[in-house]
Structure 1
Amino acid sequence: MTETCPRWLRLLVVATAGTVLLVACAPTAGPPTTSPKAGGKLTVASWQEQDSLLACNITSAASHACAYINPAMEGLLTVKANQDPLPTNPKLSDYWVPELATEVPTLENGDVKVNGNKMDVTWKLRHGVKWHDGVAFSSKDVKATFDFWWLKYRDKNPTPLISTSGWDQVDSVDTPDDFTAIVHFKSVYAAYLTLGTGPYGVLPEHLLQQVWAQTGDITHDKVTVSIANGYSGSDTLDKIMVGTGPFMFKEWVTGDHLTLVRNPHWWGGGGRPYLNE
């Protein structure tokens, strides 16, 4: 390592008007000698514990609840990160990135069709995705999500939802194959990209079926789950979660900690995620 200034200049003390200014010449740092390694554990402190995981955009809009579930739960799209570039004249679709969908449906690519005062939106879904409990993700999950929010119960939903605004503009959902879902709107709904996207954007159909076989309230009805290297047991979906994201739910000890572990089968691949938990 080469020193870049003489010894006498390494520390210069200048005293003026009662102020002492220290100026030091430090050796030039070299490049890192090691590459980042996979593995390890990251512990994050939360300023407030949420009493329900569903408080992230289902029964409420608590941002700290979203911090718990974001690494595990995914939607059709996710919002583009602030540092990602945008076109000079961005459209609404430019603010979104495909997640469980393979592309953002728009009028330009033909996945949005307007028929008079109605519209159809076609979602093309990612292949090879599995829920954390090993069940394959498909268009059935997208349809079940729209059923949960509106189509099954309309305005009589047993689950205390934060709002059904937008969902109530959906007339029906078709699933012509496992990787295509067509959402039929009864109006030209401009905010169609917000439905089924973001945290808790898509819910697992096989677990919703367990809830619908009971009272239909996902804050009340227990489901049975088995996640390899993660959680196994029965509880309500406001206390446990099964997603498709890079981390899987393991346990939540109220008042102490919530643990997520690495999903080795995450569709994002590339050796990610790097952390073990």
Structure 2
Amino acid sequence: MKHISIIVMLCFGLVLSACSSSSQSGPKDSGTGEPQDLVMALGSEPVSLDPQDATDGISYDATELMYDKLVTFDKDMKLVPQLAKEWKTSDDGLKVTFTLNQGAKFHDGASLNADAVKASFDRIMNKDNKLGRFALYTEFLDKVVVDSEYQVTFQLKFPYVPALANFAHPSGAIVNAKAAKEKGENFSKSPVGSGPYQFKEWVSGDKVVLTANTGYWGEKPKLKSITIKAVKENAARALMLETGEAGVIAPVPATDIERLKGDNKLTVTTYPSNRNLYIGINTQKAPFNDVKVRQALNYAVDKDTIVKKILLGQAQVSQSAISERTSGYSPAGAYPYDPEKAKSLLTEAGVKPGTTIKLWTPEGRYLMDRQIAEFVQANLEAVGLKVEFQKWEWGAYTKAYRDPNSGLELFLVSWAVPSNDADGGLRPLFMTKGTNNYTVFSNKTIDDLLDKGMKTVNNDERKKIYADTLKAIKDQAPWIFLVEMKQPVGVRKNVEGVTSLNTELVDLRTAVKK
């Protein structure tokens, strides 16, 4: 028996030794000074890793790590240098000249110089490439001229106030145009940029993995890798933060914010946002082609309850089609909750009680999105409509609501303004030929105002033009205007250097895990 006991003890010791050895071979603990792996869990996965074609915020969370721009926004939304060390605008406002930092390279080793900058912008401005952000630059840019190896000039069609802000837009990222041409459609899933992190793999429906670009020309990355996980279930995302499986999550579910704040291993920070959450209306489809019906839908929805009961204060009722944090904003006023007014307008428009309409929503992409859509469904049914409700996976949803032939009628979505300017917040959505005009909205008065606003330099005149535009958009009601969002971000306390911009970009470029 004594011999057996000794053998058992020896075996137990070997097991403990193996466990100890195994734990030491895993991720290093704080104090090692070695770069760590970081997981960030978001509500959905990117749609594209090509910044010139992406139009959603989740994609930009990834592309901002892999690409550099000429200029960028800091955490206070001030323009700061990135690839460009300096720039100047000509007296007539028709030329912007950038002097580049030297030594920047793409992840495949190619030089990032003035020729590369021109090639990148020529790519996005080529309509044959059919890139999602084509109009963001072609509306105001005439051509790009290489002055020298490290100096490039952008010639504008007219003086355009937010030009620099548009260069700081995530779609202003400098892509390796040669690699993009060679890869074709595969570039969106196998990108080549110049940022502090480079692409490793994309497991569809699960994760995007980036690794440190150790040869980065700027401030060196402080993490070994960043994995962006798609976790649409609110409870699962919160649990990952609590257990340490994820170092960062966004958004933090509204129902979990106070509980997570009580965990001394975590911090939850609610950042301001210029994102508006709304329900788009297919304005070309009956009965929504009648403005009275669109206005009725707005009167039918109780926005205050959405803010107080569903989002638990993590938002405010929208007063305009752009956020109060966006340059050029003025309040147009919210539609009050008035179900009787809604019923009256529906009757005037000839909409019979029991008329069936369709409402679509994603789940997990936005803070409490499904719950908000279900509440709106109940509001609309309370004024006599029958609402067919459908949840979508984010990737499929983005294709469906952008296709006017998909059968869409009402669809919950949002719009942030990465350029932080009213032109970028309104023209793509409400111009008749706007690239993001998913409501198929058309109004000549608004078209004229948007064109005038884009070409006006005087700030007071611009603000007046956009005030008139926002009032006209409210009256025409191509949306059910809902709320201006906030961005609650959860971070483990051993992770530092994480912030979120007004645009809801979760910035990990300087993040470090200890």
What TM-score do you get using the length of structure 2 for normalisation? 0.36
Contact 1:52 1:239 in 2 (8 A): yes
Change (3 A) 1:71 1:143: same
Shift in Å, 1:180: 0.3
Alignment of 1:63-212 (within 5 A): 63-82=57-76, 95-103=78-86, 105=87, 111-115=88-92, 119-150=94-125, 153=126, 156-200=127-171, 201-210=173-182
Alignment of 1:243-258 (within 5 A): 243-258=193-208
| 1:62 aligned partner, one-letter code | D
Deviation string 1:183-230 (CA, Å, 9 cap, x unpaired) is: 11121111110343343421213224436xxxxxxxxx25xxxxxxxx
Deviation string 1:49-90 (CA, Å, 9 cap, x unpaired) is: 233223x5x3342111111222111101110213xxxxxxxx
Contact 1:146 1:167 in 2 (8 A): no
| Worse-matched range after superposition: 38-47 or 258-267 | 38-47
Shift in Å, 1:141: 1.7
| Worse-matched range after superposition: 180-189 or 44-53 | 44-53
Shift in Å, 1:170: 1.9
Shift in Å, 1:252: 0.8
| 1:243 aligned partner, one-letter code | G
Q: Give the RMSD, CA atoms, in angstroms.
A: 2.3
**Distance in 2 separating the partners of 1:267 and 1:239:** 24
User: What fraction of aligned residue pairs are identical, expressed as a percent?
Assistant: 26
**Distance in 2 separating the partners of 1:167 and 1:35:** 50
- Which structure's residues are more often helix, by fraction? 2
Match in the other structure for 1:43: 39
Deviation string 1:123-181 (CA, Å, 9 cap, x unpaired) is: 1101001101111111112111221222xx3xx43324245134332222211211000
Aligned-partner SS, 1:59? coil
Change (3 A) 1:249 1:165: closer
**Distance in 1 separating the partners of 2:131 and 2:81:** 29
Contact 2:79 2:168 in 1 (8 A): no
Contact 1:41 1:275 in 2 (8 A): yes
| Worse-matched range after superposition: 165-174 or 130-139 | 165-174
Shift in Å, 1:36: 6.9
Find out whether 1:267 has 2:217 as its counterpart: yes
**Distance in 1 separating the partners of 2:207 and 2:133:** 26
Contact 2:124 2:133 in 1 (8 A): no
**Distance in 1 separating the partners of 2:167 and 2:120:** 7
Aligned-partner SS, 1:102? strand
Contact 2:48 2:54 in 1 (8 A): no
Contact 1:144 1:208 in 2 (8 A): no
What TM-score do you get using the length of structure 1 for normalisation? 0.64
Contact 1:74 1:197 in 2 (8 A): no
**Distance in 2 separating the partners of 1:196 and 1:204:** 17
Aligned-partner SS, 1:165? helix
Aligned-partner SS, 1:187? coil
Aligned-partner SS, 2:153? strand
Change (3 A) 1:198 1:267: farther
Change (3 A) 1:162 1:113: closer
**Distance in 2 separating the partners of 1:51 and 1:239:** 9
Aligned-partner SS, 2:42? coil
Contact 1:246 1:262 in 2 (8 A): yes
Shift in Å, 1:35: 5.5
Aligned-partner SS, 1:114? coil
Q: Which runs of 5+ in 1 are unaligned?
A: 1-33, 83-93, 106-110, 212-220, 223-235
Match in the other structure for 2:376: none
**Distance in 1 separating the partners of 2:131 and 2:213:** 30
Change (3 A) 1:160 1:247: closer
| 1:131 aligned partner, one-letter code | F
Contact 2:98 2:153 in 1 (8 A): yes
Match in the other structure for 1:276: 224
Change (3 A) 1:238 1:53: same
Aligned-partner SS, 2:188? coil
**Distance in 1 separating the partners of 2:104 and 2:46:** 29
**Distance in 2 separating the partners of 1:149 and 1:160:** 6
Change (3 A) 1:48 1:144: same
Contact 1:240 1:249 in 2 (8 A): yes
**Distance in 2 separating the partners of 1:163 and 1:42:** 33
| 2:223 aligned partner, one-letter code | L
Q: How many residues align?
A: 195
Aligned-partner SS, 1:193? helix
Contact 1:166 1:191 in 2 (8 A): no
| 1:68 aligned partner, one-letter code | A
**Distance in 1 separating the partners of 2:210 and 2:115:** 26
Change (3 A) 1:38 1:79: same
Contact 2:65 2:195 in 1 (8 A): yes
| 2:118 aligned partner, one-letter code | K
Aligned-partner SS, 1:174? strand
Aligned-partner SS, 1:267? coil
**Distance in 2 separating the partners of 1:123 and 1:113:** 12
Aligned-partner SS, 2:94? strand
Aligned-partner SS, 2:103? coil
